[in-house]
């Protein structure tokens, strides 16, 4: 499906949501279904911001229907799409635009369906991630590791952010390797594997010293997007050290 198809579905949903009818419940239910369909179609087209907006509209329809559990789940889907948008904008250096979408996430948290305290945590985590990203770019790897791990730990029991654990651990792991502390890197990666079992497959390639396999595995961690500039930069810095000496022996 294309972006054009998604826009057509969205238009139908908007019309359904605003059409007067004696049976409002049916109208909201049909609109919610169409908004969800539009959102998923936008996702296939990798239009993350539009997908997030459509999911948010679907959730608002579900709130009207008093379907609180469904609405909370749909708000989570919207949050994930906005986070993907933030990642892309940040990678392009469009920090002001990225901050605007972080506000969208905060507004989701501030609804009565989720915890206000988590709204503050979401904003704090976003700031910490920016600090970590910039620190690593400046080769301040220890500081970057600290911030990535801090956000990962805060995300463990949060359903809205738990999906990002692999990315946080991956970035922290790359920073550990870039430092050149092989023993520290091994211990950290073992810790990450205990906290997120999906991280274990990347460790195998680090131990083997197979640069291409390691890089390919990193790419697989970001299946929905291309390897971003930040990871590419850090990988280029550590590739030579992996070739010269297996890191985790």
Segment 233-239 long-range contacts (CB within 8 Å, at least 24 positions apart):
233/137, 234/136, 234/171, 234/174, 234/175, 234/178, 235/174, 237/178, 238/174, 238/177, 238/178, 239/211, 239/215
What's the whole-number mean pLDDT along residues 69-77? 81
The confidence band for 2, taking pLDDT boundaries of 50, 70 and 90, is confident
∠ CA 49-54-56, nearest 5°, is: 95
The confidence band for 247, taking pLDDT boundaries of 50, 70 and 90, is very low
The tens digit of pLDDT for each residue in 137-155 reads: 999 999 999 999 999 988 8
Q: What CA dihedral angle connects 55, 84, 170 and 96, to 10 degrees?
A: -130
The tens digit of pLDDT for each residue in 98-130 reads: 666 666 776 666 565 555 566 566 667 778 888
Round to whole Å and give the CA distance between 38 and 101: 19
Residue with tokens 């971003």: 228
The tens digit of pLDDT for each residue in 157-202 reads: 766 566 678 788 889 988 988 888 778 888 888 898 888 776 666 5
Looking at domain 139-249, which of 3.40.50.300, 1.25.40.10, 1.10.10.2840, 1.10.443.10 is its CATH number? 1.25.40.10
The tens digit of pLDDT for each residue in 211-220 reads: 566 666 666 6
More confident residue, 42 or 248: 42
Predicted local distance difference test score (pLDDT) of residue 35: 95
CATH domain 1-114 topology? 1.25.40
Round to whole Å and give the CA distance between 132 and 128: 6
What's the whole-number mean pLDDT along residues 53-62? 91
Decide: 36 and 74 in contact? Cβ < 8 Å.
yes
**What is the residue extent of each domain of the chain?**
1-114, 139-249
| Mean pLDDT for all residues in the chain | 78
Predicted local distance difference test score (pLDDT) of residue 22: 44
Numbers of helices and strands, H then E, in the chain: 12, 0
> Same topology for domains 1-114 and 139-249, yes or no?
yes
More confident residue, 224 or 46: 46
* Distances in whole angstroms, Cα of residue 52 to Cα of each of 98, 102, 207: 14, 12, 39
């Amino acid at each position: 499906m294309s972006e054009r198809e998604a826009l057509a579905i969205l238009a139908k949903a908007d019309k359904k949501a605003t059409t007067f009818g004696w049976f409002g419940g049916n109208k909201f239910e049909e609109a919610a279904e169409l908004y969800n369909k539009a959102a998923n179609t936008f996702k296939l087209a990798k239009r993350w911001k539009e997908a997030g907006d459509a999911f948010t509209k679907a959730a608002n329809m579900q709130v009207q229907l008093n379907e609180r559990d469904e609405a909370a789940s749909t708000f989570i889907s919207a949050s994930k799409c906005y986070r993907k948008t933030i990642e892309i904008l940040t990678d392009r250096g469009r920090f002001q635009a990225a901050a605007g979408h972080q506000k969208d996430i905060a507004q989701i948290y501030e609804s009565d369906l989720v915890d206000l305290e988590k709204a503050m945590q979401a904003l704090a985590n976003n700031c910490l991630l920016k600090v970590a990203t910039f620190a690593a770019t400046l080769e301040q790897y220890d500081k970057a590791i600290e911030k990535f791990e801090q956000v990962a730990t805060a995300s463990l029991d949060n359903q809205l952010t738990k999906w990002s654990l692999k990315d946080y651990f991956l970035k922290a792991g790359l920073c550990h390797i870039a430092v050149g502390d092989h023993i520290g890197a091994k211990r950290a990666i073992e810790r990450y594997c205990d906290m997120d079992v999906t991280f274990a497959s990347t460790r195998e390639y680090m131990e083997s010293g197979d640069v291409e396999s390691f890089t390919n595995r990193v790419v697989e961690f970001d299946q929905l997007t291309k390897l971003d500039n930040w990871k590419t930069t850090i990988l280029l810095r550590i590739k030579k050290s992996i070739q010269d000496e297996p890191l985790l022996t």
